[in-house]
Chains A and B, each alone.
Chain A
Amino acid sequence: MAALSIENLIKNYGKTEVLKGIDIEIEDGGFLVLVGPSGCGKSTLLNCIAGLEDITSGQIRIGERDVAGLHPSKRDIAMVFQSYALYPNMTVEKNIAFGMEIRGIAKSERKKAIKNVAEMLQIEELLKRKPSQLSGGQRQRVAMGRALVRDPQVFLFDEPLSNLDAKLRVDMRTEIKRLHQRMGTTIVYVTHDQIEALTLATKIAVLKDGKLQQFGTPAQIYNDPVNMFVADFMGSPSMNLIPAKIEDDLVVLKGGDTNIHLPGPHYLAGYTDVVFGIRPEALTDPDGADRAGRIEIRPCAIDVVEPAGSDTFAVTTLGGHEATARLRADAMVDPGTTADLAFNLDKVVYFDPKSGERIRG
């Protein structure tokens, strides 16, 4: 059963189209991440699901119910906001209880629910404090507690980690994932951070300019992007996208001094220009290469070497463009020299340079 399904959702502000026909479906217990650059419409989409914004046309179903026109409080959802949106004049306890109080739930029951949630999130000792007396991470927990206590069908998270510092962000990310595994409730999560998207999601929806670019599992999005935008946006460092020529059945990357010739797949016949896409980890030192893949080794000029602890990144020039290779930490390369790099051809994807769309076999 789908916990949430969105069909041909269109949202306009006056004449501006913000969402241009979105179709998404997430199964019960799934973790859907909406990701995209700022202004892509991901937060608007979340607000439409929550009922905080009216939709222009289309359908949103939560469970089996069409929720269009339904008040946010009647949609069986709970939301965690970017700023946490804790009521400043109420204690943590009152914050968590506010929704139940409005719905007229008995005091003894409220107490029990607060106790459960406080235990789960380990915020028992904070219950009597005001939000202004809490740290960022504690506020985050309380905001989640306020959502958890509703026990809704779908949780909505609007960039919940973007106000935290880097270390806390990673901790809370793990915490959210753990919570999801334990509760098994469907989550819709908005972020602009592609790492958050890849680590948390069971399904990712990549949005750009109000259009759904690709919808799939993190592995599909990462390994099998449908266009150059998705390929470039997801992954860090991002995929190397290099203009290439097709000559006979060879892919030619025009380098500085020498051209690099690689065997190309048969489906490129008929193209003269393509974009050659290779992720940094598929471009590595020969010893570090994946032996199961089809490996081609070519000499490349190394411009810059950036050791990053666990890996070493080397910047080289392919087809007149900078390309990043990800080498083992102890790979011996020096800037200004030429080194052999292994191309894993199984991981290479090709795009049409005009439309930006993927070329497939």
Chain B
Amino acid sequence: MSVPSQDNAVQGSRIGRIMIYAVLVVFVIYYLTPLYVMLANSLKPLDEITGGGMMDLPRAYTLEPWRQAWSQAQIGVEPTGLRPYFINSIQMVVPAVLISTALGALNGYVLTKWEFRGSNFIFGMLLLSCFIPFQIVLIPMARMLGLMGLAGTTGGLVLVHVIYGLGFTTLFFRNYYAAFPTELVRAAQIDGAGFFQIFWRILLPSSAPIAVVTIIWQFTNVWNDFLFGVSFADFDSIPMTVALNNLVNSSTGVKEYNVHFAGAILAALPTLIVYVVSGRYFVRGLMAGAVKG
């Protein structure tokens, strides 16, 4: 007599579980291998890499490649390392992220709580900017920046990133505020609060989840951007990504792979930190919008 017992069910699920974990482990290895290679090689002297054994752990640990990449490598005319370009990137990313997020929040507020004739059309046009490939606007944008006297400046890059980010930040905030009860806005109106008072006192304090999502999104995009940086930046405004490219592609001398690896990690570090610090808010923010909206 064969009666399916509960043991079988438990065992079946245990086998399934092992399979799932096996697949997950394979994926983890797949994704972590490049990071391992970068990290291991950035801590080796160059001759260990050129002598083969790129997958090996360092025999002699050294921080010299990191020091080189940060402050001594020859990137521009002077052997400055990546440091000045890191600062360039920070100077570009912080205002670009803050301005585009603030404008996106304001747009979302107006598009949901102060609807006007054609507001949907304007939202549609803003969304369209999310889908225009960067390459199309390069030449017109260069001309505009030239006319405005912003060519080659960090300010010009900030402007470009704000304009390109506006579509997404508006989309995020609009969808979030669409689920925000309009009765609250009406109550505040009766209480005598004006347009900006309602925005500042009622909506913004409830916007933390979506603000985090938007900031992470914008930070990552602007920091990682290469095309605008390489097209519009001048010597004193070159961002990190472009500098890294210059470092790796310098055609003179020996290829210092360990320095390149260290530089690449340095370039990726800020976005990594942002994710690790606020990643759970990111998920929470996306969920909040999804469940309520």
Contacts and interface: CB of A to CB of B under 8 A. Distances in A.
Interface stretch (A97-105, A244-252, A269-277): A97-105
Interface in A74-92: 77-79, 81-83, 85, 87-89
Given A88-B206, A89-B205, A102-B197, A83 B191 contact: no
B46 interface: no
A99 B191 contact: yes
Interface string B183-211: 11011111111000100011001100000
A50 interface: yes
A79 B191 CA distance: 9
B181 interface: yes
A83 B181 contact: yes
Contacts of A83: 181, 183
A75 to B, nearest CB: 8
A52 interface: yes
A85 B189 contact: no
Interface string B165-196: 00000000000000001011011111111000
A318 B278 CA distance: 72
A79 to B, nearest CB: 5
Contacts of B186: 50, 52, 72, 79, 81, 85
B206 A73 contact: no
Contact of B190 (A50, A82, A87, A89): A50
B188 A98 contact: yes
A103 B194 CA distance: 11
A85 B192 contact: no
Which of the listed residues B183, B190, B197 has the most CB atoms from chain A within 10 Å of its own CB? Answer: B190
A343 B167 CA distance: 71
B197 A78 contact: no
Interface in A49-80: 50, 52, 71-73, 77-79
A73 B191 contact: yes
Nearest to B192: A73
Contact of B181 (A72, A85, A89): A85
Contacts of B197: 102
Interface in B188-238: 188-193, 197, 201-202, 205-206
A82 B181 CA distance: 11
A255 B205 CA distance: 67
A172 B206 CA distance: 30
A102 B200 CA distance: 13
Given A83-B181, A102-B197, A52 B189 contact: yes
Nearest to A79: B190
Contacts of B202: 87, 89
A280 B181 CA distance: 42
B205 A72 contact: no
Contacts of A73: 189-193
A78 B192 contact: no
A103 B192 contact: yes
Q: Which of B184, B186, B191 has the most CB of A within 10 A?
A: B191
B183 A77 contact: no
B184 A99 contact: no
A98 B190 CA distance: 11
A89 B198 CA distance: 12
Contacts of A81: 183, 186-187
Nearest to A94: B201
Contact of A72 (B183, B189, B201): B189
Contacts of A87: 184, 187-188, 201-202
B206 A82 contact: no
Nearest to B182: A85
A98 B183 contact: no
A183 to B, nearest CB: 18
B188 to A, nearest CB: 7
Contacts of B189: 52, 71-73
B109 to A, nearest CB: 15
Nearest to A89: B205
Nearest to B208: A89
Contacts of B188: 87, 98
Given A87-B202, A89-B205, A77 B192 contact: no
A77 B206 CA distance: 27
A103 B201 CA distance: 14
A103 B197 CA distance: 12
B220 to A, nearest CB: 28
Given A87-B202, A88-B206, A102 B191 contact: yes
Contacts of B183: 81-83, 85
B190 A77 contact: yes
A94 to B, nearest CB: 10
21 contacts: A50-B186, A52-B186, A52-B189, A52-B190, A71-B189, A72-B186, A73-B191, A73-B193, A81-B186, A82-B183, A85-B187, A87-B187, A87-B202, A88-B184, A89-B205, A89-B206, A98-B191, A99-B192, A102-B192, A102-B197, A103-B192
Given A78-B190, A87-B202, 15 more contacts: A50-B186, A52-B186, A71-B189, A72-B186, A73-B190, A81-B183, A81-B187, A85-B186, A87-B184, A89-B205, A98-B191, A98-B193, A99-B191, A102-B192, A146-B191
User: Which 7 A-B pairs give the minimum distances between C-beta atoms?
Assistant: A73-B192, A99-B191, A89-B205, A85-B187, A85-B183, A102-B192, A81-B183
